[in-house]
Amino acid sequence: MSYQLNFGALLDYQDVLLDGLWMTVKLTLISTVLGILLGVLGAAARRHRNAALRHLSKAYVELIRNTPFIVQLFFVFFGLPAIGIKMTAIEAGVLALVINLGAYLTEIIRAGIDATPKGQLEAARTLGLSSRQIFIRIVLPPAFQRVYSAVVSQCIIVMLGSAVVSQISVPELTFAANFIQSRNFLSFESYLVAALFYLILAFLMRLAFNLIGARAFSRKEKTL
């Protein structure tokens, strides 16, 4: 092999790379929080008394899950402004990520809700709780716990998917790698380093989620 890998040259661009990494982290954080919220709402709608809400939620889930994220992104970024909804690239990126994550989480959380034992609902009803109170206080917390690992995996998938928002010039990690390789022509090295960063991010994300989960779902005795 005649080619000599040259990672050292990337050091000149470490600021660009780190800025991109930071943007990816920020995009992920905000989309994860909003996406989980949307997923909970979607799941609530999916099991709502109102049939129209149920159908709407189902259509949303099917539409998003059966089209590529990049097309969703282009539709939001190019298509929506054409009908008067204007936004910046970052806003469009976040919106697309949230919509995408929300659809998958709707389905995941719904499955968790469906696994609720009937007796839990009956006990709550007997105690006099309203439907909303039952959903929020009795059904949702254990349902979320039941499907937590699937939720975590989906959030990580969306973090990795955020690489695609580089295509609408959001200056995140992949965009940074693109930029660097366009300057120094070390494409292989640039992308390899970026990929490594993603790998580390995925690892750290799982770690963080596991720590949060262990804390949130702890069943250690509480003192008075």
Pairwise CA distance, residues 85 & 83, whole Å: 6
Q: How far is the CB of 193 from another protein (least distance, A)?
A: 10
DSSP annotation of 134 reads I
- Say whether residue 179 binds another protein (CB under 8 A): no
- C-alpha dist (Å) from residue 100 to 6, 43, 62: 37, 14, 11
Please identify, among the stretches 15-23, 25-33, 40-48, 196-204, the one whose residues bind another protein according to the rule CB under 8 A: 196-204
Q: Which is nearer to another protein, 88 or 131 (CB)?
A: 131
164, 170, 176, 180: residue in contact with another protein (rule CB under 8 A): 164
Residue 50 interacting with another protein (CB under 8 A): no
Single out the residue of 29, 115, 122, 182 in contact with another protein (rule: CB under 8 A): 122
124 binds another protein (CB under 8 A): yes
- Angle (nearest 5°) at CA 42 between 41 and 43: 90
User: Counting Cβ atoms within 10 Å, is residue 54 exposed (0-12), middle (13-18) or buried (19+)?
Assistant: middle
Q: Which residues have C-beta within 8 Å of that of residue 79, sequence separation ≥ 6?
A: none
Give me the residue label for tokens 């790698």. 177
d(CA 164, CA 75): 13
Residue ranges in 75-94 that form contacts with another protein under rule CB under 8 A: 75, 78-83
Residue 23 CB neighbours (<10 A) = 21
Residue with smaller CB distance to another protein, 15 or 221 = 221
Give the interface with another protein as residue ranges (CB under 8 A): 1-3, 62-63, 65-72, 74-75, 78-83, 117, 119-120, 122-131, 133, 137-138, 141-142, 145, 156, 160-164, 166-167, 174, 177, 181, 187-188, 191-192, 194-195, 198-199, 202-203, 217, 219-224
